[in-house]
Amino acid sequence: MPDQNARPGGTLFGAVFDRGGVATGDMAWLQALLDAEAGLARALERAGLAPAGAGEAVTRAAVAADFSAAEVAEVASASGLTGNPVPGLARVLARRVAGAAAAAVHQGATSQDIMDTAAMLLARRAIDVTRRDLLAASAAAARLASAHRDTLMIGRTLLQQAVPVTFGLVAAGWLAGLDAAVTGLDDVRASRLAVQFGGAAGTLASLGGGAGAGGREIPRVPALLAEELGLMAAPLPWHTERLRVIDVAVAMARVSAALGKIARDVTLLAQTEVGEVREGGGEAGGASGGPRRGGSSAMPNKSNPVASVAILGCTRQVPGLLATLVASAEQEHQRAAGAWHAEWQPFSDILRLAGSAASWGADLLGGLTVDSARMAANLTASGGLPLAEQVSVLLAGPLGRPRAHDLVASAAARAVSSGLPLRDVLLAVPEVEQAGVTADQLDAALDPAGYLGASAQFTDAALRAHEQGAFHG
């Protein structure tokens, strides 16, 4: 079956990297630019700087879907002459507005005002869509953590078996990361998305912001523009102070990091030799046996973890994009010579890729199948070796910690080389019997259910934090 989240008529790689509802393509940018221009016209009218009805007239004309192919092409072509698409857009938009209202198009603004404000609008829309998918993913992670609170599995450090954990604790860790990513998005949306409006060099001199009897007059237009667009009003223009752009990108990078961690865990746990989880969506493609998720072009038997792989394909690109945005924050004087231009594509891409990863993440966690029997089998396959630490604690009383550690390490090595269970090797060591340790005590120390520490409490704490937080839509 075709992927229901893939966009019709999308690009060749769009079903992987452009999944879900985040839109940052040409038409999304065009509409955001038009929204900024329309909001400015409405703000100018409210400030008495544009004719009555100008705001409504410009807003009616500022609909990207109504632009002809020739008009879109004109805007695109003009960007090669002016270094950005706004001058061409302003000309085309002004032609679409009748009468005196056309004078309100782009009045008092510089190109960067419109581009940066549009970027903030684009970011807000991307955050809202990404947040929705993250909430679906976190709800699924919470269900997994609750259902598998006591499901034993082996923990792994440095990719080697370590000590027992529960799958509930693993899922709780995923949940905590997702919830933190949602909080980061909320913080940025509430406090960092601001309009840009400063005119040619950040003074708004063209709108007459001179000194008044009570001191320097603060123009009303930026605040009115913020109200019209539902963004913050910044204390002053931020043309070459780019931390807002970086903050948005960091919030999206945090989303990517949380999802990448989950996807990497799933790819490892889904390996054939491990087999502790598997992705959903791998059914045969209908009666005709058509394409199915996870299929291979060469190996009919394969069921690949496509959602996890797609998430990682998205998230691996994000750090480089973030680095470009941070590097581009070094900008000259009142307008950057190239660094501002270098932001546009990586900013768009980081929104798109994080949003795509979030959509995949909701799908992945919502359909994840847990094989608790395989987890139990893998836990016992090593013959008690993961409980060596607990045995060392048991023997430390009579033997002392250093001697107990060395004795158990030697026994573990013999168990590995001989293929015998650690229990049998330890019971054959004279010092164990001399220490007064009984077989029952040894069996208790080698019981994985008795060596989970605070796993259940940590899982419960993550679930409580999730329930108490604003993570429910």
Of 394, 130, 347, the closest CA to residue 250 belongs to: 347
Assess contact for 329 and 248: CB atoms under 8 A.
no
Choosing from 132, 264, 292, 335, which is the catalytic residue?
335
How far is the CA of 57 from the CAs of 40, 107, 112, 222, 231, in angstroms?
A: 12, 14, 23, 20, 22
Map tokens 């009984």 to a residue.
438
Residue 369, strand partner residues: 278
Map tokens 């400063």 to a residue.
198
Ramachandran region, residue 371 (left: φ > 0; alpha: ψ -120 to 50; beta: rest): beta
Q: What is the pLDDT of residue 9?
A: 53
User: How many beta carbons lie within 10 A of that of residue 417, not counting itself?
Assistant: 9
331 CB contacts (<8 Å, ≥6 apart)? 239, 240, 242, 339, 340
Would you state the structure tokens that stand for residue 344, as one six-digit string?
């546009």
Map out the domains of the chain with their CATH numbers: 14-199+218-375 (1.20.200.10), 385-445 (1.10.40.30)
Cα–Cα distance measured from residue 140 to residue 371, given in angstroms and rounded to the nearest whole number: 17
Q: What is the pLDDT of residue 214?
A: 37
Cα–Cα distance measured from residue 306 to residue 178, given in angstroms and rounded to the nearest whole number: 20
Q: What is the pLDDT of residue 451?
A: 94
Cα–Cα distance measured from residue 7 to residue 229, given in angstroms and rounded to the nearest whole number: 27
Residue 335 falls in the annotated catalytic set: yes
* Residues present in the chain in total: 473
Of 463, 46, 473, 410, the closest CA to residue 224 belongs to: 46
Assess contact for 130 and 22: CB atoms under 8 A.
yes
Map tokens 């879907």 to a residue.
65
Cα–Cα distance measured from residue 423 to residue 402, given in angstroms and rounded to the nearest whole number: 20
Of 379, 375, 328, the closest CA to residue 350 belongs to: 328
Q: What is the pLDDT of residue 213?
A: 41
Q: What is the pLDDT of residue 332?
A: 97
Assess contact for 194 and 120: CB atoms under 8 A.
yes
- Read off the pLDDT of residues 89-133 as tens digits, 9 standing for 90 and up: 999 999 999 999 999 999 999 999 999 999 999 999 999 999 999
Residue 358: CA count within 13 A, CB half-sphere: 33
Q: What Rg do the C-alpha atoms of the chain give, in angstroms?
A: 30
Cα–Cα distance measured from residue 52 to residue 42, given in angstroms and rounded to the nearest whole number: 9
Cα–Cα distance measured from residue 394 to residue 445, given in angstroms and rounded to the nearest whole number: 7
pLDDT tens, residue order, the chain (473 aa): 445 565 545 689 999 999 999 999 999 999 999 999 999 999 999 999 999 999 999 999 999 999 999 999 999 999 999 999 999 999 999 999 999 999 999 999 999 999 999 999 999 999 999 999 999 999 999 999 999 999 999 999 999 999 999 999 999 999 999 999 999 999 999 999 999 999 999 999 988 755 554 334 557 899 999 999 999 999 999 999 999 999 999 999 999 999 999 999 999 999 999 999 999 975 544 445 555 565 544 444 557 999 999 999 999 999 999 999 999 999 999 999 999 999 999 999 999 999 999 999 999 999 999 999 999 999 999 899 999 999 999 999 999 999 999 999 999 999 999 999 999 999 999 999 898 999 999 999 999 999 999 999 999 999 999 999 866 65
Q: HEC string of the chain? A: CCCCCCCCCCCCCHHHHCCCCCCCCHHHHHHHHHHHHHHHHHHHHHCCCCCCCHHHHHHHHCCHHHCCHHHHHHHHHHHHHHCCCHHHHHHHHHHCCCHHHHHHCCCCCCHHHHHHHHHHHHHHHHHHHHHHHHHHHHHHHHHHHHHCCCCEEEEEECCEEEEEEEHHHHHHHHHHHHHHHHHHHHHHHHHCCECCCCCCCCCCHHHCCCEECCEECCCCHHHHHHHHHCCECCCCCCCCCCHHHHHHHHHHHHHHHHHHHHHHHHHHHCCCCCCCEECCCCCCECCCCECCCCCCCCCCCCCCCHHHHHHHHHHCCHHHHHHHHHHCCCCCCCCCCCHHHHHHHHHHHHHHHHHHHHHHHHHHHHCCEECHHHHHHHHHCCCCHHHHHHHHHHHHHHHCHHHHHHHHHHHHHHHHHHCCCHHHHHHCCHHHHHCCCCHHHHHHHCCHHHCCCCHHHHHHHHHHHHHHCCCCC
Cα–Cα distance measured from residue 257 to residue 129, given in angstroms and rounded to the nearest whole number: 18
Choosing from 191, 296, 410, 418, which is the catalytic residue?
296
Q: Which amino acid is at 199?
A: G
Would you state the structure tokens that stand for residue 470, as one six-digit string?
């604003």
Assess contact for 378 and 274: CB atoms under 8 A.
yes
